[in-house]
Structures are given as structure tokens and as C-alpha cells.
Structure 1
């Protein structure tokens, strides 16, 4: 059986689909993932994925392209060449799977499953009703099971990625704290000055701190790292970042892709969580974590990309001392103090 899993959103969204992908791959002879350009690097890191089809769909992503027939015809041809027998369309709780389902029907996929609140006509064979308040990981697994795919025995259902490469001495010995100040949209960022203050607080407490960010965030990471932390801004691709996060004692990060990558490599997360989407659906999954932020702020549930409330109150009340306390809780040690040597 040839299977396809579609998840057309961002890096973190694709990582959250990982357990459902493994459930599908456990029964399929070949598993293809259809995803957008921002999610493709994550798809290539997922266990169980044999092939990735990248398509920038006009109804997904932060800056979708115009809808045109040529683009749709192209992805229909690419999917049809793989001739999948079944496809799962994974979406967030607020998205419709029907545009993607229509494209896959046009590609000849004979069996389609998706969570769907709208009447699907003939577009879906399995119309699943998503349970309320389910985390994105659990909701995707629920859909997979409804379509006949269960996790194999021994699979704990947590996030996972393929073994990341060694970081070639980028960070030295494991046990540092990572601070990742960036986020895909402004509403989910804590702010440069607050991140820099948190780094200073962690360094004063005796933690080694590593600051990470993408190629476009080098100015940000340099400012946040200051003179006390190691600045890796722009120096790590997704796979290298996975290894840096894996060897960390804890990661301080907003609700963005690296938070889920940290969870996928088993590292505890201090989550600076702007409640523009609900933490119950998007918090770090399957690892110890502390969520910081005001979940009752006026922006809650707005899905805003730019904070709609002056002063960014959902995160402005989080102090560097709060971050330090959360790191101490997750690392389980008094920072800067090694256990005293035994008397001889």
C-alpha cells in the first residue's frame, strides 16, 4: 500500500504530524509527505517518510501564492505519478481540509481521510470529527486511527526526528541552556531586550548559554547573546539545530518551530507562549515544560500574527527571573554549583 500524508503548514506543524506519519508508515509500503516549503525541512527529518513533495498551496502559509491553474495542475501530476492508495489530510483545528482533498481527488487518490466540520460531499471517505481541546499531536493520531492506522507496539507516540549529525564542536560539552529569541511572527516573540536580560540572568546564575537563530536573525542573536553567551545565529540548519537542542539541558523559546524540535529530541522547554493560539493544542509535547505567559490576555485565541494589544501584555509580564526559575525547575539543580566532592 502506498500512502500520502498532507500537512501544508510550517516547520513546527509538520513536526507535530510526526507520530501520525509513523502510524501510517507502520502499515504502508511507501509513505509520501505533501507539505509546503516551510515545512519541507521538517518532513525530511521525520522517521517513516520515504519521499517529500513540496507544494506552496494558495490557502496555506504566511504569504501564500496566487491561486492559478498551472500550480494546481503541477501538483496533481506529481501526486498522480506516486499513485497513493490512501491519503490523510492533516490540518489545524481552524482549517478546512477540503481544498487539499479536492486536489488529491483530482490526482486520483481513491481513499481520503480528514478532520472536517463542513459537509465534504464526495471529497472524503473518512470524515472524522475532531475531539474538542485536543493537542495537535493527539488530534492527528486520532484521525490516523480512524483511517485504520495505529502506532505500532513500542512506539510511545512522542515527537521524534532522525538522528541529527554531530555539531562539529559548535557548542562544546552538553548541558548548556539554549535561548532562541526569534519566532515566525512578531506576536509570538518575547522581545530582544527581555531575551538579552534573561541571558544575562542565566549567565550570572552560572549557566552556559547558547543563543540560536536563522540566517536572517544574526543581528537579533548577537544582541541577545551579548558578551556572555555563545552566538550561533545563522550557523545551524535544521539538522544541526536539532543536535544543538538535543545536547541542551533546557531550551527557552517562544511558540515556534524550534520549541517542537526541542521536544522531538527530548529536551525540556521553557515556553514563552503568546496565547494567540491555545497552549492546550500547541504547547511542547511529550517533554517536561513550563509555560510562561498570560493565557487570559486580550489576544487569546485571536490567531494574530502582529500583537493586537498595545504593550504585548501576554508576554511583557514575564520577567528574566521567571525564566531563570523555570530553567532551574527543569534542570533540577542549583545553577553554578556542582555537587561537593565526597570526603576522602
Structure 2
């Protein structure tokens, strides 16, 4: 595994390790906390432990200096055996609230460890885990207990330097990590067809293992081959696509968080997790569609019943509302 290195000209800089070995949406939801850490420790070399595939995205936040590749088992905690050199000066657990993530960091013998499961005994009020708290607010409040200020609305990413493969298009992203968060492909196809009929260029995207889904939605939605983006775009290209899109429509996935990070109008379909926990900030550019009901399993193998209650007509209307100031035509 690659070894994190000290900043150029500062070989003796103390190192700070943050653990958040999760997906793209989790990384982007953690940006406000990461930026709070960056400001609180300006002289440290900040290393973020997360999956190697997210290295480009992590560095694009401007909040970290290097990445420690850390592949977690399904819904688990990775071993941090790729760490080299002396123990970290500070280790921060932004991964979870249990002893497993705390223990992974504690095994490196950091001088100071910040974790829900390992509160600093000097704190008069140690951080408390609140299960119904929004993800961005949770980690900012956690850091606040340690005297580190972080703003949960500090989510924006800089405009990518890369060119978009489809500037001004509506990005339709039908995939999601778990089936419980996947709105039916037929409804995404109907949405694509209606948006194209209204004069908007539509591109369909998916992750590296979602080619069959992407091709199905595109074929049924009448999307031409040139606007079918298969295989999972590299982060730089995906970021440019989203940043220069007219709209992003997706389930509760990393792409929805990327739209928020670039202030691109978005319609996000929620279920089984409420937008109160993972939704966008209050902003008229971002519409979160959600049918209240009993909480479901975010890792379930069947589409969530609340998600299925969202109809194609409702999503089309929300999309056209956000697109109404635009006059983007199919090319």
C-alpha cells in the first residue's frame, strides 16, 4: 500500500489520521467535518483512510493531504495495517460510534484519539451519538465537543478543471448500492422520455457494475447511444459532468451529494432513509422527494415501499420545475 508522506518541505510535520472508509456519499457528507479538522490543525499532515477508488474525490475536497487506502468489508471497519512510520499525532474516528472503528485507530497508538467510543476524559461533556441526527450535523457536533468548529453547510467543491462530456444535460442516475434505494428502471426510463420530449438533453450514468441497468433505462427512455455513459466515469469526469449539468435526478446516492457539492439543481428520491438524515441542505435548487413511513433497511434486497410510492409523474413535475428557467435543447 502507498505510504502517506509529509508535506513538501515539512518532513517533520505531525501526522493526523482520519478514518472514514465508506462510499462517495459518505465522503461528501463528511466534508464539513474534514474541513473543520483541516482548519483546527493547520500544521498537521492530514491523511484520510478510505477506499483507494475514492482517492481523487478525497483530494478534490482540499481538506486532506494524502489518502491511506483502506478497504472495509461490507458494513465493517478496515484494518489500518497500511500505516507506516511513527504513530499519528492525532487520530479521529469519523467512521462510526462503536468500538471497532475506535480500536482500529487505537491499534496505531496515536498520541490523541478522538472517537465517540473513546471520549477524552478531560471533556466535561463527551460527545453523545444521536441516531436521528443528520449525518453532516452529527460529525460537526462531534468535533465541537472536542473544541473543533465545523459548519455542516460547508459542502461546496471547487469547479473541476476537466470538461464535461455533456454540458447542460440532465443527468439521470438510476443506480444505487443497495436494491432498497433503487427506484424502478421503468420509471427512470419514462422520466427520461418525458424530459427529452420537453426538449432537454438527457444522459444516463451508472457505476462500474451497473451497465445492464444503464442500457435498459436508456433503451426504454429513447436515449441515444452517445448519451449513455457506462462503466463508471472517473471521478474528475463525473464531477465535471455534474458541475455543468442542468439537473441531476437520482436516488439517495453519492451522485446526489455531488450535485449538492456543485450547487447543481437536483431531484433526489428518498427511501428507505429519510432526507432528515441524509438529505440536501435547505435550498430551492434541491428537491428531496420522500413519502413518510416506517423506517426501512438501507441495505435491503428489495426496493423500499416508501420509495415505490414516488410516482414518475411527481418526479417529472419536480424536474421540470427546476428546469423551467432553462431552455436546453436536444443536440
Scaled by the length of structure 1, the TM-score of the pair is 0.79
* Deviation at residue 52 of structure 1 after TM alignment: 0.7
* Deviation at residue 49 of structure 1 after TM alignment: 0.7
Written as runs of structure 1 = structure 2, the 5 A alignment for 1:25-36 is 25-28=38-41, 29=43, 30-36=45-51
TM-aligned CA distance change 1:131 to 1:148, over 3 Å = same
Taking the aligned partners of 2:160 and 2:328, their CA distance within structure 1 comes to 29
What SS does the aligned partner of 1:160 have?
coil
Q: Which structure has more RCO (C-alpha within 8 Å, separation ≥ 6)?
A: 2
Taking the aligned partners of 2:153 and 2:62, their CA distance within structure 1 comes to 12
Does the 8 A contact of 1:11 with 1:41 survive in 2? no
Matched, 1:5 2:30: no
Aligned length: 307
What SS does the aligned partner of 1:216 have?
coil
1:142-184 deviations in Å (ceiling 9; x for gaps): 1222223224xxx7833233542323x621xx43211001111
1:6-36 deviations in Å (ceiling 9; x for gaps): 1122221111111111111113222111123
* Deviation at residue 57 of structure 1 after TM alignment: 3.6
Does the 8 A contact of 1:98 with 1:123 survive in 2? no
Matched, 1:215 2:211: no
Match for residue 263 of structure 2?
Answer: 266
* Deviation at residue 253 of structure 1 after TM alignment: 0.4
* Deviation at residue 234 of structure 1 after TM alignment: 2.1
Q: RMSD value over aligned CA atoms?
A: 2.8
**Matching residue within 287, 290, 308 for 1:316:** 308
What SS does the aligned partner of 1:215 have?
coil
What SS does the aligned partner of 1:115 have?
coil
Match for residue 295 of structure 1?
Answer: 292
Taking the aligned partners of 1:312 and 1:132, their CA distance within structure 2 comes to 20
Match for residue 340 of structure 1?
Answer: none
Taking the aligned partners of 2:88 and 2:215, their CA distance within structure 1 comes to 46
- Consecutive unaligned residues in structure 1, runs of 5 or more: 66-70, 338-344
What SS does the aligned partner of 2:162 have?
coil
Match for residue 166 of structure 1?
Answer: 162
TM-aligned CA distance change 1:301 to 1:38, over 3 Å = farther
Match for residue 7 of structure 2?
Answer: none
Match for residue 150 of structure 1?
Answer: 149
Taking the aligned partners of 1:124 and 1:322, their CA distance within structure 2 comes to 51
Does the 8 A contact of 1:8 with 1:39 survive in 2? no
Taking the aligned partners of 1:278 and 1:109, their CA distance within structure 2 comes to 36
Does the 8 A contact of 2:260 with 2:280 survive in 1? yes
Match for residue 79 of structure 1?
Answer: 83
* Deviation at residue 187 of structure 1 after TM alignment: 0.8
What SS does the aligned partner of 1:141 have?
helix
Written as runs of structure 1 = structure 2, the 5 A alignment for 1:29-48 is 29=43, 30-37=45-52, 39-48=54-63
TM-aligned CA distance change 1:184 to 1:37, over 3 Å = farther
**Matching residue within 179, 182, 192 for 2:172:** 179
Match for residue 280 of structure 1?
Answer: 276
**Matching residue within 236, 239, 245 for 1:242:** 239
1:275-324 deviations in Å (ceiling 9; x for gaps): 2x23211113465322224221x5x24334213xxx74322232222112
* Deviation at residue 197 of structure 1 after TM alignment: 0.7
Match for residue 99 of structure 2?
Answer: 98
Does the 8 A contact of 2:175 with 2:182 survive in 1? yes
Does the 8 A contact of 2:260 with 2:286 survive in 1? no
TM-aligned CA distance change 1:7 to 1:163, over 3 Å = same
TM-aligned CA distance change 1:125 to 1:133, over 3 Å = same
What SS does the aligned partner of 1:244 have?
helix
